[in-house]
Amino acid sequence: MSFKHLTTALLGLALAATAIAGCGDVDNGASSGGGKTVTVFAAASLTETFTALGTTFERSHPGVRVRFNFGGSSGLAQQITQGAPVDVFASASPATMKTVTDADLADDRPQTFARNRLQIAVPAANPGKVATLQDLADPDLKVVLCAEQVPCGAAAKKALAAAKVTVKPASLERDVKSALNKVTLGEADAALVYRTDVKAAGAKVIGIDFPESAQAINDYPIVTLSKAPQPGLAKQFLQLVLSAQGRDVLTAAGFDAP
């Protein structure tokens, strides 16, 4: 089996595991307090910002619980098309959102609420002495990328092509948090991840900008689902994300306004 085919097979297993874990983690019934639960599927890179917005939403909606499933956008879209009961879907790319809209599962037209771009993430000590995107071509470096099926991987492929740089990754991860984790644990010399994830990691990693990232900016769309168990609350959560308050939270985390 070729490396490409092996990678595809492994990604499929990973996505299947994610679907099982994700569906088991989502509570769509009443919360312990007898209130309602809003289920939000969101790209892994939104973990910190959406968790904060979820807390804000719960405070303004007594008795309501916001339950999140964070992961690679392509895997989340697959779970939705397979029937997972979801109120809101926030994706890291229009391409993965299209999987849901093409299946007629969106309640309305998706709206772009943020934009993100890549950085090179390296450990704080930068043992590989990485300074540019071109450095990632060094075969002695352990470089981690997201799998091409997820938005951070698609963006990395586009940026590398723009720079005419060929990278042989040590691993292909199922979402951006998994790729960054390899760097924070010292298991990789570098990874191509979103700058928002680098910022969230704090002093554990250093983010290196590169000009080709401008060729691979990701738009983040959000939508309520046509079969949302809590359609009214779903729309209210979406409006919070789109509001000035939501924009402030996203901007503070390093996202660009749409």
Are 49 and 31 in the same domain?
Answer: yes
Are 93 and 28 in the same domain?
Answer: yes
pLDDT tens for each residue of 221-233: 999 999 999 999 9
What whole-number distance in Å separates Cα of residue 198 and Cα of residue 184? 10
Are 80 and 35 in the same domain?
Answer: yes
Instruction: Classify 128 as helix, strand or coil.
Output: coil
Q: Is residue 24 part of a domain?
A: yes
pLDDT tens for each residue of 123-156: 999 999 999 999 999 999 999 999 999 999 999 9
Looking at residue 35, its pLDDT comes to: 84
Q: Is residue 257 part of a domain?
A: no
Q: Is residue 258 part of a domain?
A: no
Are 192 and 166 in the same domain?
Answer: yes
Mean pLDDT of 159-177: 96
Looking at residue 27, its pLDDT comes to: 38
Looking at residue 166, its pLDDT comes to: 97
Are 136 and 10 in the same domain?
Answer: no
Are 14 and 96 in the same domain?
Answer: yes
What whole-number distance in Å separates Cα of residue 19 and Cα of residue 161? 31
Are 157 and 81 in the same domain?
Answer: no
Q: Is residue 103 part of a domain?
A: yes
Per the structure, the count of domains in the chain is 2
Q: Is residue 136 part of a domain?
A: yes
pTM for the full predicted model: 0.83
Are 144 and 18 in the same domain?
Answer: no
Spatial contact of 58 and 66, defined as CB atoms under 8 Å apart: yes
Beta bridge partners of 43: 71
Are 145 and 100 in the same domain?
Answer: no
* Complete edge-to-edge strand list for the sheet that includes strand 218-224: 65-71, 37-43, 88-90, 218-224, 111-116
Are 104 and 92 in the same domain?
Answer: yes
Contacts made by residues 11-14, CB under 8 angstroms, sequence distance 24+:
11/147, 11/149, 11/172, 11/174, 14/75, 14/174
Q: Is the pLDDT assigned to residue 66 strictly greater than 80? A: yes
Domain that holds residue 30: 3-115+219-252
CATH of the domain at 134: 3.40.190.10
The pLDDT mean for the chain works out to 89
